[in-house]
Amino acid sequence: MVNKRILLISNSLVHGGGYLDHCADEIFDFLGKIKSVLFVPYALKNRDKYEQTAAERFKKMGIILSSIHRKKNPIKAVLLAESIFIGGGNTFRLLSELYKNKLLSSIRKRVNSGIPFIGSSAGSNVACPTIKTTNDMPIIQPQSFKALNLVPFQINPHYIDSDPKSKHMGETRETRIKEFLEENKTSVLGLREGSWLRVEGKNIKLKGTGGAKLFERQKDPKECSNSTNLNFLLK
């Protein structure tokens, strides 16, 4: 059986840093000998500009990035890709466009066959069973909330702890995730900014600087550090 290889990043920008700077070493190491990436820019409106930003950053790593929105046949582009990177932005726009272009099953197939997959923010949301733990505004109705299901648990990217001094009465992130667990059974990993997950076969590693918080149904939330064994999430 081929090992799946998946890198799921909380956020592409850390305060004060440039695009993907905080995780560029990890991306470089993760891709290894692979020097070309198929980019999925659907989460942002301006795809040309998004491609340019991403291509410049990958070029610094010696990797050629080309965007799927320029391909005549997007499904074929996925089938030929050596690796795939789905960028952040609005998760609903992204998933809607993946459905419109009928790309979900071909991306899933390729990742199951062992090509490296990288997701950042909204790109990490769509790697999960559903997009039900996104933070984004539902600006477009996708045909379904079901997503790529590359990992069997949910990620909440940009996870942020409650500010005890806040006077804002909108739901905290923790409250929102607990609402999710009132209606769904899948566990949720809140990935703080600066963190990412590297999944290889049956192994999952939390990396980066932010840590994570794990939410399971009818259990107290658990703080996770880079040494926490999270392999059970893949079962």
Helix (H) or strand (E) holding 48: helix 47-60
CB of 27 to a second copy, least distance (A): 18
133 binds a second copy (CB under 8 A): yes
Q: Do the Cβ atoms of 180 and 133 come closer than 8 Å?
A: yes
Q: First-to-last CA distance in the chain?
A: 16
Quick check: is 136 catalytic? yes
Instruction: CB nearer to a second copy: give 5 or 158.
Output: 158
The pairing of strands 5-9 and 117-120 is parallel
Stretch in the footprint of a second copy (CB under 8 A) among 9-17, 56-64, 75-83, 213-221: 9-17
Q: Do the Cβ atoms of 158 and 121 come closer than 8 Å?
A: yes
CB of 222 to a second copy, least distance (A): 20
- Within 134-163, the residues that bind a second copy by CB under 8 A are 134-141, 144-145, 158, 160
20 binds a second copy (CB under 8 A): no
Beta-sheet strand order (sheet of 5-9): 64-67, 36-40, 84-86, 117-120, 5-9, 195-200, 203-208
Size of the site for a second copy (CB under 8 A): 37
71 binds a second copy (CB under 8 A): no
Question: What six digits make up the tokens of 213?
Answer: 């918080």
Which residue among 83, 121, 124, 195 is the active-site one? 121
177 binds a second copy (CB under 8 A): yes
14 binds a second copy (CB under 8 A): yes
Among 9, 11, 103, 206, binds a second copy (CB under 8 A): 11
214 binds a second copy (CB under 8 A): no
- Within 29-68, the residues that bind a second copy by CB under 8 A are 45
CB of 211 to a second copy, least distance (A): 15
Q: Do the Cβ atoms of 132 and 154 come closer than 8 Å?
A: yes
- Collapsing DSSP to helix, strand or coil, 46 comes out as coil
Which residue among 12, 22, 136, 195 is the active-site one? 136
CB of 160 to a second copy, least distance (A): 6
Stretch in the footprint of a second copy (CB under 8 A) among 27-35, 62-70, 89-97, 215-223: 89-97
Tokens 């990490």 sit on residue: 124
Beta-sheet strand order (sheet of 212-215): 154-159, 188-192, 212-215, 222-224
Quick check: is 69 catalytic? no
- The per-residue b/e assignment along 157-179, b for 16 or more CB within 10 angstroms, e otherwise, is bbbeeeeeeeeeeeeebbeebee
78 binds a second copy (CB under 8 A): no
Quick check: is 121 catalytic? yes
Active site residues: 121, 136, 158
